[in-house]
Copies of this chain bind each other. A is one copy, B any other.
Amino acid sequence: MFKVFPVKGGFENVKGFFCGATNVGMRTSPANSDISDIDGDVAFLRSQTTCDVSAIFTSNTFQAAPIKHFQKYPKDFQTNFVLINAKNANAMTGEKGVEDIDTIMSILNTKIDVLNPIMSSTGVIGYRLPIDKIISAFDTLRFNECNSHKTARAIMTTDSFKKELAYKIELDSGESFNIAAICKGAGMINPAMATMLCFIATDANIPKNDMDELLKQSAEDSFNRISVDGDTSTNDTVMLLSNKESGAYHKEAFREALNKIMFELAMMILKDGEGANKLVTFEVKGAKSKAEAKKASMALSNSLLVKTALFGEDPNWGRIASTIGASGINCDEHKLIIHYDDLLIYSNEFRELDAKREEMAYKIMKQDSFKITCDIGVGTDSYISYGCDLSYEYVKINAEYRT
């Protein structure tokens, strides 16, 4: 049918896309300038031909100016340019924030022809964009080159490594198309709280309807599993651009590739959790409904007491049970069964860990990643979410973020 396989690099794999970044000095005074790997603060992604665009934005009522600016375009508009900046979220900046984007884009348009340009920002909330600094980038950005690594690095804030992936899809017909993406985000388990940005570019000849459908579905199975509904930042954005330049398309192949890319990026965000050391999979099964399974699973991946126990490598299953009981789902302590990886930790017949099994539990928890499975025992629905531990480092990073 088709082959989906990873390739090296990022956007340079996708026909007709250019990208790059430059440093206009926005990183100098604020924090994180000590990450030597970051050498830009203004970046762009453009296509030589116009693109369809699908986007998913934060559910925060206070959407940042770039999101409001995007939403002013007519439905199903096309674009060929995305401008991205770090260190300033352009959020809570009112109408002025949107006007600033128009100003920047009108100046951009004197340098290079852009159609319905999009802006995307991440950083501190509540400050107007430094327009002069940002437009100074237009003198040094190389609009006809493709420096994907540099672009991926430039959008980082508290990230400790860049997030960039590319997949090639080969169809039986001999045709092929490509998808690449970059992403930033390093929240605790909740990338939404620190801004999450993800830009995906493809040369597949994908219809706009499929873009909307598949982006939404992939987000549900990736970023939404490491994030809490409704607890999102002002700027969160996942954007898919397609310029159709390969001429090739196959829906199931595209779905598979997009799922892979978005899931891998979500896991990269989690592994880069601020101060986090462990990646834990929380499977809740045997729930009365999928909604209840999700509720309990997300409660586990977000519980401070669970997260600190993971950091302490303490097989304290009581905190797991207590969190499920507190989540408000249908459950019964006589039916609950808890496993850490394949080790039975709790069931009605087996409530206390003996020394030997406690030793085995410690070993499991010492791993970089493992799975906690809770069978609620009252139904057939399940849900998987992904979390990480909470360390001293998380507190340090977030206490010192702005200054």
Q: Contact residues of A with B, CB < 8 Å?
A: 59-63, 89, 91-94, 124-128, 188, 190, 192-194, 230-234, 304-305, 308-309, 311-312, 314, 316-319, 321-322, 324-329, 331-334, 346, 348, 351-352, 390-392, 394-396, 398-403
Contacts and interface: CB of A to CB of B under 8 A. Distances in A.
A126 B401 contact: no
Contact of A318 (B125, B319, B329): B125
A188 B304 CA distance: 10
28 contacts: A59-B326, A59-B328, A61-B329, A62-B322, A62-B324, A92-B318, A92-B333, A94-B334, A94-B351, A125-B317, A125-B318, A125-B319, A125-B321, A126-B346, A126-B351, A193-B304, A194-B305, A230-B326, A230-B327, A230-B328, A231-B326, A233-B322, A308-B394, A309-B402, A312-B398, A314-B402, A391-B395, A392-B395
Tell me the interface secondary structure of chain A in the complex. Answer: loop
A326 B394 contact: no
Contact of A311 (B125, B317, B399): B399
Contact of A91 (B193, B318, B390): B318
B399 A322 contact: no
A273 to B, nearest CB: 12
A57 to B, nearest CB: 12
A314 B392 contact: no
Contacts of A91: 318, 321-322
Contacts of A309: 398-399, 401-402
A94 B398 contact: no
A305 B193 contact: yes
Nearest to A399: B312
A399 B232 contact: no
A348 B94 contact: yes
Given A351-B94, A399-B308, A318 B61 contact: no
B94 A322 contact: no
